[in-house]
Amino acid sequence: MPLPQEFHDLARQVNNWGRWGPDDEIGTLNLITEETVRAAAACVRSGHRVPLALPLRHDGVQTGAVPGRINPLHTMTAVNHELFGPGTVATSDDAVTMGLQAGTHWDGLTHVSHSGRLYNGRPADAVTAHAGATVLGVEKLPPVVSRGVLLDVARAHGTDRLPDGHAVTPEDLDAAEELAGTRVRAGDVVLVRTGQLRRYLAGERAAYAFPSPGLSVRTPRWFHERDVAAVANDTLTFEIFPPEIEGLWMPVHALHLVEMGMLQGQNWNLEELSETCAELGRHAFLLSAVAEPFTGGAGAPVAPVALL
């Protein structure tokens, strides 16, 4: 079952292959310039720090639906171990096994492929079981620090949480941008709040996962026109799931990661940020969201922070 023509039409509209040269491996992160970083720093006015990562726990957001994407198994390899003999300083150490996309994370550019291709036309088989992503790996990304803008779609709709079937449209983004009081511009990282994470925070893991509101297949064009550097939101599926077009699974993933070369973030906790932005009346901030640099990684945990 090949991808439908509708997908290919959208793909052509947002494609960035070759835009930053044939060897480019970082895609829209090229849009973050030193000027962008300076502008981001200028957003820090009161000195608030808002963390955006969920705790990494055995009862995290994964439900077992995706084999291999396991919640963190955190174990102690030493507990108050007196390494140098009785009465000496004691150490506690720990280890973890987890899916790189299990919690608050960035999808790397190799997380999806279609038609045998990755971003910038690289062959999909450049990802191997042995070495992971031999091109476009997350370890090659520059530090993701930019101006962040919260597009609080739930709040713009006057609700805590969008309903399950809600596909976030370009019109929704426009309305949230209006609420934000700032215009999204080149190099920005956009955080789209649906409120769906409230389900997880309320202990409803299955309901959080699926069905889920999320980005419409029409939004990649919006992000492309604004030359956004990256997009993250507060859902597990990122895009509306089940999908809008029957049989077209994960089109937003394919458009962002493969066609645009744009990072996507999932399971970001935007609840406190929503409150803070509303209180301060400011929705732009310095966002620091550096991917853990796993060599060959198709994704990476991240502990983002917004500074306002």
Judged by CB under 8 A, the chain residues 71 through 110 that form the site for its own copies are 72-81, 83-101, 110
3-state secondary structure of 180: helix
Q: How far is the CB of 213 from its own copies (least distance, A)?
A: 20
Is 69 an interacting residue with respect to its own copies (CB under 8 A)?
yes
Specify the stretch interacting with its own copies by CB under 8 A; choose among 9-17, 20-28, 53-61, 158-166.
53-61
3-state secondary structure of 253: helix
Q: How far is the CB of 120 from its own copies (least distance, A)?
A: 16
Number of neighbours of residue 2 by Cβ within 10 angstroms: 8
- Kind of pairing between the strands at 305-307 and 49-51: antiparallel
Is 256 an interacting residue with respect to its own copies (CB under 8 A)?
no
Site for its own copies in 3-22 (CB under 8 A): 3
**Chosen residue from 17, 20, 210, 294 binding its own copies by CB under 8 A:** 294
Site for its own copies in 117-156 (CB under 8 A): 124-125, 127-130, 132-133, 139, 142-143, 145
Is 114 an interacting residue with respect to its own copies (CB under 8 A)?
yes
Q: How far is the CB of 236 from its own copies (least distance, A)?
A: 13
Specify the stretch interacting with its own copies by CB under 8 A; choose among 19-27, 30-38, 207-215, 271-279.
30-38
> Which of 130, 181, 110 has its CA nearest to residue 152?
181
Output phi, psi for 117, to 5 deg: -125, 150
Q: How far is the CB of 182 from its own copies (least distance, A)?
A: 18
3-state secondary structure of 270: coil
Size of the site for its own copies (CB under 8 A): 102
At residue 99, what is the residue type?
A: G
Provide the phi-psi class of 99: left if phi over 0, else alpha when psi is between -120 and 50, else beta: beta
Radius of gyration of the chain, Cα coordinates, nearest whole angstrom: 20
Is 281 an interacting residue with respect to its own copies (CB under 8 A)?
no
Q: How far is the CB of 50 from its own copies (least distance, A)?
A: 8
Q: How far is the CB of 300 from its own copies (least distance, A)?
A: 8
Cβ-defined contacts of 158-161 (< 8 Å, 24+)? 159/195, 160/195, 160/198, 161/194, 161/195, 161/196, 161/198, 161/199
